[in-house]
Structure 1
């Protein structure tokens, strides 16, 4: 559909092979404007999820006390709320955004905010304040993406939030200057504390998602830190072979609360992620083969639709379609080279009234001596053309062309949506043809 294809993202490098194989696109890495000052620590691996969360909470408490903002990434709403509950038990208070004081930009000590689909209405504010010294933010993968976390807080968001009821004037200007000075001071405190600390509660199947989480810290040369905490209960660790690893850790005498930290674990996990990515890539490539079939049809339909849009007068197209419909309709009830006794005259009479909305003496025509199917077709076409000519005279040629084009485009779009739905259903069940030793893709094409 597109002659040129391109895009920009911060995490395309891990998917370079897929972009090259499927889309024939080369991935070019653009150097950062300033050197990345973020420190990416080695992963910590614990035996159980509980031990992992206890370790995460200790790091959160330490960062918060030192005034370092913390962003904790989770893989689901349930896990973000589990961590939130454990933070409450550890003495931190969850921000209540129904309280106007929560929007004041102060009071981040000993408190935390949860950013997930349940709190989407407060998303902009939570992200804007996630870089304030001591702020603790728990976020799911999708929450807050595409928004920079600014150290010290987002000054524009604070001005808009806190001064929304204050009219322009000296008082507002003074208040805005005060807020800007506060944000600048808090930024220096956050920088002195080490910048944004990003903590991952587990590795994802895709390295790209992990890189997106890491990339929230250390923007534009700011200092920062990232670290992932894992347990043998994590989904990726199960793929990695957590049962065997658990037995090995027990033999080594690993005590409760102790973690394994080593660079070889990071490399081994990265290989496990690559295996999962390769499996997912094969699945997507298989889906793409089916989509190529649909894409060929899509090109034909879109080309036809574009022709209809560009044609100033589609009267001839509509006429050809009308004649074709009538010819097929008559052939259904009056088969070619058939005897009059074989004709379904009543069925044709009903179809003409139902489909064409024309009241014609079809039964009387069929009783005429020597009449044949082609003549019946010709009479119906002539009457239909006369009816359309009458409507054109009634509405005027311009309005008639507009009505024809609108109805034709709406009908085409409706039928195309139905066709896509049927193909989608077919794609879901066509795999069963493999049991009959048939190639599902060839069956889908046919």
Structure 2
């Protein structure tokens, strides 16, 4: 009965069936006819003409467009979209999140929605997590797009503004989430139209976000920030780093046991917070020779102390960050294990870590522009996402982005075997047994992938495997240059690979190895030709398909000999033989050395095995000393192990323990969701302000001269009315008007009003007095325009507006940072911090706008040409 009810209420199954009927079947029916089209580019551009000039909607031409894209893929890169990939492409076009298992070809699926949505000429973005995936994805699919008459651009970290402009002007642009976000922020700091890199007309039209859960869930806790150096002494961080070594860490108060915390400070590891005790505060005041650590004059010292303690106890080298060869502290992404060059912790934490590591401290930064990923991607007219794990986060995607999740069926059934977790008392016992399992399985020849949550763990395991005489590869933030090569080899027999968080690695692990990838590497190393060059691609595909024309195609690559072609064919045959061997052995075996705080990351690791119907297996090894278990699991289970007399090497497999792990992960996920939600709530307050300021800038940069002139006149009039309301309000008696104050304020901003009779305003009707001053100001502006000439005045007006807006916005952001850091203290006064934040932020923004108008007025009337 329950199976019947599930089938009735399974919206996912209904949606898939609907897409099969409306998209897959009609596209398949057109396949034979589409194969007869000689010039696909001409035919595809004909669809563009129907959309742009003929007024048809994209949906009207979806079936022929998908049929042409599939045919272009078959001709250009030798890959024909599976029916389930058509379903995924249709879901992406609808602005949904497509959940597709690892190895199901998300890169190819994205081409359907990208090429199709590029038909309207407004640009489409493929957003992914790192430069390597951007470059490889674009290069691999470029032939497909060009076969349709579309242009494709790539954004890389070290590109110039001119190169970025050209890439964003293409029909399809591949870019990382961080580069795209920072380009948007930089565009809204541009001083001229020529500095804009995104399209001026449709900067954010359509995007597909690859690894959408990684970008929009995991990374959403950290906003994008562009900073500039702030004027603050950095040597104090060294002093504080030494000082906190003299403090003693204690334990927090426990209800029913201890009413007061012990030591000089306590740590809350769950929230990564530090709390000084009364004794600790007194001790610091003596050491610093100050009276009150929390007085307004000493707040900087109190903040530095807090960050120094967080750096000392909560942020660990080779887990949270590394120190590279240049002596720089580089953050490690906790979800992917990648180094995040250029990213810095905020609020002085990065400087505190640099002081702790005794390396050069970079200047503390001040926020110049900021936005959260949530609010950034909501700026798109339409955006979609794809990943292997999204359904568990569907509520968040719906609530924040308005996108639901469609689980796309696999092309072939998944036959991977997932074993129950093995739980050990200690980390040492766990790792000994991990090595034992690796040794036993390595003897059979099966490839093994070991997933770790930190660099420290990966290097510990590497040392243990070396001691056991087991050859292996290590993939973590210290070895990113070899990443793709290591992953491509991970499916060969006898291979053992240790990887830090496999999420978003981007290269499929193919049993026996990836012949095309390996051949491409050989060609690049021996003949200096990119494996994505047309000649190299044609040769590699011919070898892979065992085509007789491989020798002739190889001759198009300078230096290739007949002997090399035979070697390439032998490499292919060896890989095919090894693939059959590994399949017979049971496929790739996954070992997880620790449960991640997110179940999605665990599933991503598991998903590396069993792609496209391959055999495979997985097992997680867990200990009660793991961070997740230590912070969140139930202490009763450890007590039970003690009572049973279980030693460190003896595992347990119990539903109670598995349930404790799942509950621990759920609690962490709930906490992280609360963090993201709170971040978004606070950023939503800023969002309207940011939209207002950025719209003003965009109007100044791109608007016609008359609009800029109108804006200036409006600001000057607002300034005058603001001063009239302050010194001569309409509802006040004439005798109370402060005309001397009004005259001083007006002449300070507009010296050209020197001849205006302010005293006469006492003898005029209030409305008439106000009107006369506004009219005199308008006349002064007209005289200014005649003096400087309309063209020069408009040029200078644009410059003044941008400079004044940017300066005030920067100061406003700094004020908001300070407000955000201290607003939590309002809770002690029984006031809601978020409500207080909204109220204060609104007042601060209004004050900024008033001050901005005053400064614009001063500059316009006081600036000198030349």
2:683 maps to: 291
- Comparing 402-411 with 230-239, greater Cα deviation is found at 402-411
Shift of 1:11: 0.8
Shift of 1:327: 3.2
Q: Choose which of 145, 148, 151 in structure 1 pairs with 2:508.
A: 148
Q: 2 CA distance for matches of 1:19 and 1:369?
A: 63
Q: Does 1:207 align with 2:599?
A: yes
Shift of 1:132: 1.8
* Paired residues for 1:145-184 under 5 Å: 145-164=505-524, 165-166=526-527, 167-168=557-558, 169-171=560-562, 172-184=564-576
Q: 2:598–2:669: 8 Å Cα contact kept in structure 1? A: yes
Q: 1 CA distance for matches of 2:493 and 2:806?
A: 54
Shift of 1:317: 2.7
Q: Does 1:29 align with 2:389?
A: no
Q: 1:115–1:144: 8 Å Cα contact kept in structure 2? A: no
Q: Choose which of 733, 738, 749 in structure 2 pairs with 1:338.
A: 738
Q: Deviations over 1:10-59 (max 9, x none)?
A: 11122233334444543332221111111100000111101101111112
- Comparing 126-135 with 24-33, greater Cα deviation is found at 24-33
> Any idea what SS the aligned residue of 1:254 has?
coil
2:651 maps to: 259
Q: 1 CA distance for matches of 2:496 and 2:725?
A: 72
Q: 2:513–2:575: 8 Å Cα contact kept in structure 1? A: yes
Q: 2 CA distance for matches of 1:132 and 1:79?
A: 24
2:146 maps to: none
Q: Structure 1 pair 386/198, CA: closer, same or farther in 2 (3 Å)?
A: farther
Q: Does 1:69 align with 2:447?
A: yes
Q: Structure 1 pair 369/14, CA: closer, same or farther in 2 (3 Å)?
A: closer
Shift of 1:79: 1.4
Give the paired residue count.
414
Q: Choose which of 457, 461, 464 in structure 2 pairs with 1:86.
A: 464
Q: 1:195–1:217: 8 Å Cα contact kept in structure 2? A: yes
Q: 1:330–1:377: 8 Å Cα contact kept in structure 2? A: no
> Any idea what SS the aligned residue of 2:671 has?
helix
Of the two, which has the highest radius of gyration?
A: 1
- Comparing 258-267 with 132-141, greater Cα deviation is found at 258-267
> Any idea what SS the aligned residue of 1:28 has?
strand
- Comparing 77-86 with 295-304, greater Cα deviation is found at 295-304
Q: Which ranges in structure 1 are unaligned for 5 or more consecutive residues?
A: 93-109
2:533 maps to: none
Q: 1:76–1:140: 8 Å Cα contact kept in structure 2? A: yes
1:95 maps to: none
Shift of 1:368: 10
Q: Structure 1 pair 144/437, CA: closer, same or farther in 2 (3 Å)?
A: closer
Q: 1 CA distance for matches of 2:804 and 2:728?
A: 28
Q: 2:720–2:746: 8 Å Cα contact kept in structure 1? A: no
1:60 maps to: 438
* Paired residues for 1:358-377 under 5 Å: 365=755
Q: Choose which of 219, 224, 231 in structure 1 pairs with 2:623.
A: 231
* Paired residues for 1:11-22 under 5 Å: 11-22=389-400
Q: TM-score scaled by structure 2?
A: 0.43
- Comparing 168-177 with 49-58, greater Cα deviation is found at 168-177
Q: 1 CA distance for matches of 2:799 and 2:574?
A: 59
2:712 maps to: 319
Q: 2 CA distance for matches of 1:142 and 1:321?
A: 56
* Paired residues for 1:102-113 under 5 Å: 110=471, 112-113=472-473
Q: 1 CA distance for matches of 2:477 and 2:593?
A: 18
Q: Structure 1 pair 281/394, CA: closer, same or farther in 2 (3 Å)?
A: closer
1:120 maps to: 480
| Greater relative contact order, per chain length (Cα 8 Å cut-off, separation 6+) | 1
Q: 2:756–2:776: 8 Å Cα contact kept in structure 1? A: no
Q: 1:69–1:190: 8 Å Cα contact kept in structure 2? A: yes
Q: 2:503–2:604: 8 Å Cα contact kept in structure 1? A: no
> Any idea what SS the aligned residue of 1:7 has?
strand
Q: 1 CA distance for matches of 2:485 and 2:659?
A: 37
- Comparing 380-389 with 203-212, greater Cα deviation is found at 380-389
Shift of 1:434: 0.3
Q: 1 CA distance for matches of 2:687 and 2:467?
A: 54
Q: 1:12–1:27: 8 Å Cα contact kept in structure 2? A: yes
2:816 maps to: 423
> Any idea what SS the aligned residue of 1:429 has?
helix
Q: 1:70–1:137: 8 Å Cα contact kept in structure 2? A: yes
Q: TM-score scaled by structure 1?
A: 0.79
Q: Structure 1 pair 191/391, CA: closer, same or farther in 2 (3 Å)?
A: farther
Q: Structure 1 pair 84/388, CA: closer, same or farther in 2 (3 Å)?
A: farther
1:103 maps to: none
Q: 2 CA distance for matches of 1:343 and 1:25?
A: 54
Q: Does 1:272 align with 2:672?
A: no
CA-atom RMSD in angstroms: 3.6
Q: 1:117–1:143: 8 Å Cα contact kept in structure 2? A: no
Q: Which ranges in structure 2 are unaligned for 5 or more consecutive residues?
A: 1-378, 528-556, 730-736, 763-768, 840-866
Q: Structure 1 pair 67/418, CA: closer, same or farther in 2 (3 Å)?
A: farther
Q: 2 CA distance for matches of 1:299 and 1:348?
A: 31
> Any idea what SS the aligned residue of 1:260 has?
coil
Q: Structure 1 pair 174/334, CA: closer, same or farther in 2 (3 Å)?
A: farther
Q: 1:200–1:228: 8 Å Cα contact kept in structure 2? A: yes
Q: 1:232–1:246: 8 Å Cα contact kept in structure 2? A: yes
Q: Deviations over 1:83-118 (max 9, x none)?
A: 1122222223xxxxxxxxxxxxxxxxx2x1111111
Q: 2 CA distance for matches of 1:142 and 1:416?
A: 40
Q: 2 CA distance for matches of 1:193 and 1:240?
A: 38
1:102 maps to: none
Q: 1 CA distance for matches of 2:617 and 2:800?
A: 59
Shift of 1:129: 1.6
Q: Structure 1 pair 54/16, CA: closer, same or farther in 2 (3 Å)?
A: same
Q: 1:43–1:265: 8 Å Cα contact kept in structure 2? A: no
Q: 1:214–1:226: 8 Å Cα contact kept in structure 2? A: yes
